[in-house]
Structure 1
Amino acid sequence: MDPRTSAQDVLRCDLCKTAVVEMHCDICLVNLCKACVGEHMISDESNEHEIVRFILRKSTPIYPVCKTHVEERCEMYCNQCDFPVCATCIASDQHLGHKLLKILQVLEAKKDMIIKERTELNEVIYPTYQDIASDVQNRMSQLEKEYGDLSTAIIKHGEDWHREIDKLVKKLKAEVDLMKNTQLQTLQKHLDKINKNVSEIRNKMDLINVAMDSNNISKLFSVTSDINKYRNLPEKKVPSLPKFTPGTILREKFGKIFGTFSPSSLTSDKQGYSMKTSEKSPEAGSSPPVKQLLNQPETVTTIDTGYSRNLCNVACLSDEEIWTSGHKNNTMKLFSINQGSLLKSIRTKSGYEPCNIAVTKSGDLVYTDATTLNIVKDEEIEEVIRLQNWIPYSVCSTSSGDLLVIMYSNDNKQTKVVRYSGSTEKQTIQFDDKGTPLYSSGAFHRNITENGNLDICVSDSEAKAVVVVNQAGKLRFRYTGHTSAASFYPQGITTDSQSCILIADYNNHCVHIIDQDGQFLRYIDSGLKYPWRLSIDTSDNLFVAQYENRQVKKIRYRK
């Protein structure tokens, strides 16, 4: 059995496991081929059997067993006692005078009530709870951002204080240096004057000594007596040092001087949430209409991109146009979907091939390139982000206009998802609640997309898994492939209007469809060969970039 089409395989007989199902036992809920009907009838003679054609299964009503007379079934319903009754119960005096109805009549009313409840659950209550969960997640995400902004404000205020203290310390130190230099200059002048006198006294002493040692009378008479000017000693200069008196740090008041918090709270809104209405309003936004999966997906068109090597990326610009890029090729091409013709080509600014491409809400092309994230506006390329020590790989544009970028470190030891608003980093997603990395490390293929419920979905080829976190970055689930698909190797990833996640499985030549909670729904095969990247247009048409044959397939898979 081909694992890629097993979800659509015909049903087999529950007994022989080989023949195609033709009949059904409405009592035992067993599917049978015609050959096995007799065997089933004699396998359990203690039970009744109702054999019908498979297409008429569940057409035979299975009446409830009587609680009083276990050997009988109840075909009537006591309206007063509000429970089913059998023929023996009716014959007794227990329900004498009570209003009895056929149980099938009551069943129809019960079905109507259940259908109404199911409709209300599907169209009102369940969407309301989804919106409430999304609202709480958004509030949590906003709370994390606002607390982060609060911490940043405190740090900045502390830095301002540090700068003011540094300025004050610098000013006081300059004043100390000025006082020191002034006093040193004064003392230096005083010292110079004293040293001059010392030199003069030494010369006088040398002159006297020479005259005394000589028998020349003239030399003795040349010695003048001016010793009095040296008897008056110079004044004594005593510097007075300034005294620094540090201000008292009053720790109990310091916090108030630095800044204080207003009290935080978590209150309940008395208005509360309001139930969604199933009535459509032209002013109010509505949930997307439910689109069922086709029994057999169909290929609408195939576009040959003309790249000389492998096809790496595809991104829908509109329902009529797609962007593509190829391996070892620095040119991104815009194609008409209906005509299959090339409309435009744009080369990367650096000359390197783009790792990944995406289209923003405003219709601009973005691409990752070596160490940069770039945006193309009116055919002009602007560098939005330049990274250091990190290499950007996959990028996607979110419903809020942010960009999500998955990147890995230069040393190949870390991988993370970063949310950018313009060039400003807003959020980093890297670890789970236990501090374990969410994504595998190294320069491997990983792709990213945002789901309609704001989950962030990453296909991790090295881990052979799809990792889904909520908007706040908390792990929701991991999808490691369907049990019948061997060697799951996820590549491209995208989501549709029903918040289903579509994953390109390169090894198994197919696309997995799972719901927003990770439950497998089906495969898309459609003759795919090495699907690499995926994109979805506004009509839920799937575009698959096939790596080796360099073709893009447009596939319709929903009604």
Structure 2
Amino acid sequence: MDPRTSAQDIMRCDLCETAVVQMHCDTCLVNLCTACVGKHMISDESKDHKVVKFQSRKSTPIYPGCKYHDKERSEMYCNQCDIPACVYCITSDQHQGHKILPLMQVCKEKKEKVIEERNELNETIYPTFQDIAFDLQNRMSQLETEYGDLSTAITKHGEDWHREIDKLVKKLKAEVDEMKNTQLQTLQKHLDEINKTMSNIKDEIESLEIVTVTNDMSKLLSVESNLYTYRDLPKKNMPSVPKFISEKIEVDDFSKLFGSLSSDKHGYSMKTTQKSPEAGSPPPVKQLLDEPETVTTIDTGFGVLNNVACLSDEEIWTSGHDSTMKLYSINQGSLHKSITTKSGNWPDDIAVTKSGDLVYTDTSDRTVNIVKNEKIKEVIRLQKWKPRGVCSTSSGDLLVIMDSDGYKQTKVVRYSGSTEKQTIQFDEKGQPLYSSGQYNRYITENGNLDICLSDGKANTVVVVNQAGKLRFRYTGHTPAPKNQPFNPRGITTDSQSHILTVDYINDCVHIIDKDGQFVRYIDHGLYYPWGLCIDTNDNLFVAHTKNDTEVIIKIEYMHIK
């Protein structure tokens, strides 16, 4: 095996090419064995050879040579002249009275500044541009669909107009036909009367012709003409045809009548956008408060408090590392009810259904259970999968996050009762939507029916539409309150289709809009927040630690209109 080309061979001395490398010259960047060190030192006595152990190579500072004093190293730095200088330069008149610093100190400060700038580029600016690029790519794919929908809407509106115009034309033509038939019948009747009169006149003429040639005096004296009757002409009956008076429509007026395109004008800004109302009857628009306000604090007594779920505006369910799930009064802070899990395990997640029943997942028991009238009923039992996060949808379905045995796969399954209706696991390219592993993941449904999942391992909020197609991923916003990586836990949505998720490490709540754009933080004295939920009035409830006690705080963060 050739030692110069084999990647499997150990490193050899650059001089003898046989002995194993033990030393390194930081000045010449040469690898040496112990026997060749002396030979290398005398090979070029003009250099100040810095020979160190091979493991400590490249640790010796390399000072620049002085351009005014040959063979001298510039170990100092003149702050006024902004140049390195050797000892002889520093003592010369050229730098008299100048501020002189050790070059090592200057380079150390410079390196710290470079590291700081590199960190800002790496941790803040580059990820932000990554977010922008991802948003743009995501938006480009959305535009294809949305512009297709827009063209379809315009075509449909045109078809609606065509149908209405066709109906109007048909109606007017029917009226024309009816008017024509009526007038023709009237004229025909009048014509029949004229023809009858003309026949009578002809008979009258023939009768008078006979009298004019007779010599019978008595006939002549007895004849009576109806001339005066026929001199009284009938009333003229010539109905006129109605005119069609068309309204002249200018092009601009027609565009206004038919409809026009309107678009929101946005200046580009990082992670902010205006929320557009949903189709149908949108909820009243609410504005965020300038300063959120803590209204209520509830001491739960849990050792570890993970999950909260509003039963109503007066009561809230809680669970943690305890087999007991507790229902508290929000206003009084008193305990109303306790339910112990069927297996004695603590619940991984809880939710409240549309009908007000409590749902919880039991990971160790592989079950999803529902509590009705304080009685626990198993609704789902899994094989080879373990249920984790759960939520109840607006349609009454359950969305369940589950991990495979061995935690190699993660998916979301929609259930109607105990019947599996939908599985969401991969994107359009066949790649997993969610990270795998034994980590915290929570789920909720947004007002636009998007499915929002907080992925604690990937430090990401993954949002798919109702069909399971990826809409966007949210990876946090910088700068964060504590400048730590985004670490989402509990997740919920409000009436404005905002997505809210706690950031466990940065002690805050992120609010993003339905399209994944950052809106603001709620950083309101939170400490290791975990679970959160929203009541019907858009009050936010967050479980966190206060003075070594697990509490729930109620936060008003939105104007109520």
Q: Normalising by structure 1, what TM-score?
A: 0.50
Pair member with larger Rg? 2
Higher relative contact order (CA 8 A, sep 6+): 1
